[in-house]
């Protein structure tokens, strides 16, 4: 029995992939097609609370961290496109231009706006997710294959003070932009992991650990298992690993919307179609 428990602990300390249905361990994993150039766009409004425009380079650095790993052993390319006016998270099947957007929501949705309406965040440009979530990544994918079509990152600016300095951590309860409150780069590095198909891990200190306390910057640096995810799932010169055994027609079926982010702080929440789980 003890041996089994040890073996299980080893498995749990590895990276975790997001699946089409997180409750079904046999459902397809989410992945981008190999050699995809994932172009992301920062919303031009940025975040007024973060001094200057320093939130923008912080977001850029988060993507660059993952791009460095792709250059080392992966097949994807993460490219920053022009700033965008789009504030839409999710996928519009009728649109030819579904940008991968990073945006800071500036107000909470009211209950009246959002009763049984999962599109209210886009409609009213408000934070519709759990108030305690720092950020949410909404990923749209083909439901049969898990092939990712689009992924967008929203940050919860009404609730969290996003900072971009490297140090020191803000004293408890004394948040200011001259110290680290909720670090933009720390947050977005974690969310880009979701964008690439990673779920949360129980491994303490991992970029993909579900919590981020005030003052934290450690998620800016990828842990060994998160790096290995890129090498394993997006190997150079080979197809992306889909983690399904039989070939399916991934052009059938409606895209679903998946979402990973954060109860507590960077917790986990999943959206399938327009259904949300907490």
Q: How far is the CB of 236 from Zn ion (least distance, A)?
A: 27
User: Interface with Zn ion by CB under 5 A: which range of 37-45, 121-129, 142-150, 265-273?
Assistant: 265-273
Which x/- pattern, by CB under 5 A, does the window 224-263 give for Zn ion? -------------------------------------x--
Task: Give me the helix-helix angle, 55-73 and 224-233, nearest 10°.
Answer: 60
Q: How far is the CB of 29 from Zn ion (least distance, A)?
A: 16
| Shortest separation between residue 248's beta carbon and Zn ion, angstroms | 27
Number of H helices, E strands in the chain: 6, 10
Cα–Cα dist 221/69, whole Å = 11
How many other CB atoms sit within 10 Å of the CB of residue 220? 20
**Shortest CB 134 distance to Zn ion, Å:** 9
Q: Which is nearer to Zn ion, 130 or 170 (CB)?
A: 130
Cβ-based nearer residue to Zn ion, 192 or 261? 261
89-148: contacts with Zn ion (CB under 5 A): none
Q: Nearer Cβ to Zn ion, position 181 or 270? A: 270
How far is Cα 86 from Cα 100, in angstroms, rounded to an integer?
10
Angle between helices 184-195 and 55-73 (to 10 degrees): 40
Beta 37-42 vs 100-105: how paired, if at all?
parallel
Q: Which residue's CB atom is positioned nearest to Zn ion?
A: 266
Both structure tokens of 15:
């990276």
> Residue 199 pairs with which residues in a beta bridge?
none
* Token output for 185: 């780069």
103 vs 261 by CB, closer to Zn ion: 261
State yes or no: residue 266 binds Zn ion (CB under 5 A): yes
Token look-up 């609370």 returns 49
Classify residue 56 as exposed, middle or buried by CB count within 10 Å of its CB (0-12, 13-18, 19+). buried
Q: State the nearest-atom distance from the C-beta of 129 to Zn ion, in Å.
A: 12
Compare residues 235 and 264 and give the one whose CB is closer to Zn ion.
264
Task: Give the residue with the Cβ less far from Zn ion, 155 or 266.
Answer: 266
Least separation in angstroms between residue 194's CB and Zn ion is 6
Number of residues this chain uses to bind Zn ion (CB under 5 A): 2
Name residues contacting Zn ion, limited to 13-42 (CB under 5 A). Answer: none
Residues in CB range of 104: below 8 A, 6 or more apart: 43, 45, 46, 47, 55, 154, 155, 157, 162
Nearer CB in complex with Zn ion: 101/270: 270
Range in contact with Zn ion (rule: CB under 5 A) among 22-30, 169-177, 234-242, 264-272: 264-272
Identify the three-state secondary structure at position 58.
helix
Residue 275 contacts by C-beta under 8 Å, 6 or more apart in sequence? 118
In the complex, minimum distance from the CB of residue 197 to Zn ion, in angstroms, rounded to a whole number: 12
134 neighbors 155 (Cβ within 8 angstroms): yes
Residues that bind Zn ion (CB under 5 A): 261, 266
């Amino acid at each position: 029995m003890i041996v089994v428990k040890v073996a299980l602990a080893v498995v749990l300390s590895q990276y975790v992939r997001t699946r089409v249905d997180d409750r079904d361990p046999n459902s397809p994993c989410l992945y981008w097609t190999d050699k995809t150039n994932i172009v992301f766009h920062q919303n031009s409004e940025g975040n007024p609370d973060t001094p200057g425009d320093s939130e923008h380079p912080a977001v850029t650095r988060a993507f660059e961290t993952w791009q460095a790993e792709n250059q080392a052993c992966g097949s994807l390319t993460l490219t920053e496109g022009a700033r965008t006016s789009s504030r839409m998270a999710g996928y519009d099947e009728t649109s030819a231009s579904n940008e991968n957007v990073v945006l800071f929501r500036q107000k909470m949705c009211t209950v009246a706006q959002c009763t049984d309406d999962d599109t209210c965040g886009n409609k009213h440009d408000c934070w519709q997710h759990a108030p305690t979530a720092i950020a949410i990544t909404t990923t749209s994918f083909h439901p049969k294959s898990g092939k990712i079509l689009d992924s967008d990152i929203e940050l919860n600016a009404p609730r969290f003070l996003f900072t971009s300095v490297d140090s020191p951590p803000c004293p408890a309860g004394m948040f200011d932009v001259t110290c680290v409150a909720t670090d933009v780069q720390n947050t977005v590095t974690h969310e880009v992991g979701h964008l690439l198909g990673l779920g949360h891990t129980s491994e303490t200190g991992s970029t993909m650990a579900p919590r981020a306390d005030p003052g934290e910057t450690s998620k800016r640096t990828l842990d060994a298992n998160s790096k290995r995810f890129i090498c394993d799932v997006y190997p150079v010169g080979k197809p992306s690993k889909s983690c399904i055994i039989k070939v399916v027609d991934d052009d059938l079926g409606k895209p679903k919307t998946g979402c990973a982010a954060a109860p507590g702080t960077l917790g986990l929440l999943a959206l399938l179609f327009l259904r949300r789980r907490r």
